[in-house]
Structure 1
Amino acid sequence: MPVFRPVRVAAVITETTDACSLVLDADLDYLPGQYLTVRTPAGARCYSLASAPGTGEAPRITVKRVAGGQVSNWICDRVRAGDTLDMAGPAGTFTPRSFDDELLLLAGGSGITPIMGIIKSMRCVPVLFYANRDTDSIIFRDELAGLLPVIHWLDREQGVPTADALKELLSPYRSREAFVCGPEPFVAVAEKALQLAGVPAERIRVERFALEPAGGRAAVAEVEIDGRSHMLPWAAGRRLLDVIVDAGLNPPWSCRQGQCGACAVRLVSGEVTLVHNEILEEEDFADGYILACQAVAVSDHVKVTYH
């Protein structure tokens, strides 16, 4: 189970109109590319560290506002310098094996956050491909310009990137190890483009993140855990794990990214959708398992059991 501790926010930096960085007053032992889990009254989410250890800068995480996203909007609207938030971690394995290698880095939107920590740690200059909606949505725009050359892709000018288009841009760097981070649609296109460019699968490292859900359905969650049954109100768009944890219960969980399976729970009745899943397979679904950290209600009543 992650161990939370209070962390003071030393400063809040506006990065774009919908993204901010929280500079933390904390002595963290972390690796470039790792993330922290932040717990708020609106729920808990994982946010990557955009800083790098050993550089003299304070740790910082970056939060991008999601339309209808309860946690990201709560942080962007309410958190100020001097506030304290409960945080757990660091965690994650999205870290280069060597900081002397020449890397190819691909980021989409706020996927630049862990990539930024990696850039600051490298002892050689990597190549960065960075996709955004438009110029105003480029997080760390000025800071990146002072660190390395960037291949920018702007959807409003160039359209949504395709695997064939990216292949032409990435082919000159096919001998490098590639690190990819962003929302699932971007990651899928980037992985396909790297394969078409001739980058072997074993040299492609991926950090996926699922956008904080804004949809879903208000429901009641019936949760059987530790020999007792609990009826919990489940607000539309919230993840099941947040609902259970906020009720003061103690379910198993770890990564919150849909990658480890620690939060798996058996669905007894009702219907949910999983925002993201990298661990459960068809036989797991056949046995009734879902990921609590990724489950959003579809039906009015959902029953799960940890028995």
Structure 2
Amino acid sequence: MQITLVDANLTISASNLLSATLRTDLVPVPTSLEFTVQDTEALKKALVLGAKVTVGEFGATFSLIKVMPLKTQTVKDDRRVGGIACVAIPEGCNRLIQAVDNAVILDQSSFNAAYRASGAKISLGSDLPLPEFICLKGSMPTQRLALYMQQEAAVMAFRNGKIGAYKIDALFKQEVAQKFDPSAVVWFNSDKLENMNKASYVSVDDDGATILGDGDTVSSQKIIQKAGLTSRQLKNMNKVLIQRGTILRPLTTTIQAGDLLEIESKNYIVLTAAHLVNTGALGGATATASKFWIGSL
């Protein structure tokens, strides 16, 4: 996994890289990078908060939001051997993980407009209409975006080099990225866990008497009342991607969250994709692997 520090024009060598995890999810900030390097003078100078980082041909430029020194008791060449642990998110998304200073209230807008109004300095590659968006002063934009994504039965995904908003139904209509044998999957078979992750949402209409929403639930499933939502929004909130299993494969960075997989003639969406590299530069085992969490409606 080739990691380059853009500002310093420095590529982290395999001898200095200890571990790296490139991750994609279906959340408001849908990709992140975590890596640990050896504590050298050049890297210590280059790895500062806000520094720009790229990963091979992944297509995203990341910005460091966490830089933490890791010290050991080993001494080499009169210096304590240690590392530097870093976390980075896509450049321009930093304000989305900070509480807003002013209220953001939009009407008949879009997810792209909500992103920009919340402080993001990027434009979405794929957009969807958004009837309203409210993020009060002191609220976290990512939490509010996640709420409205659920009301629109939508997810955020990093695709084709850009963050975009996508309908859940649209993800199942795309071309299959790859087919897997069922033996490659560690399946989750638990009705209790599924019921914990799914709920039915209801509301009361303006007349104060009509109940809106789907009351078709099992006895162990939650029913949650939400005020001020339409039947369409309540129906969307009932549409949930439930985790069905995990797949562990050799490093396969071509598969990302949001991709469609086919397993025994059934389609599943990649909920999370984590690509791991352990170089063993300071000893220990090396590893290169990808793990996918898959789900369906």
Q: Report the TM range for the smaller structure's normalisation.
A: under 0.3
Higher relative contact order (CA 8 A, sep 6+): 2
TM-score (norm 2): 0.26
TM-score (norm 1): 0.26
More helix by share: 1
More strand by share: 2
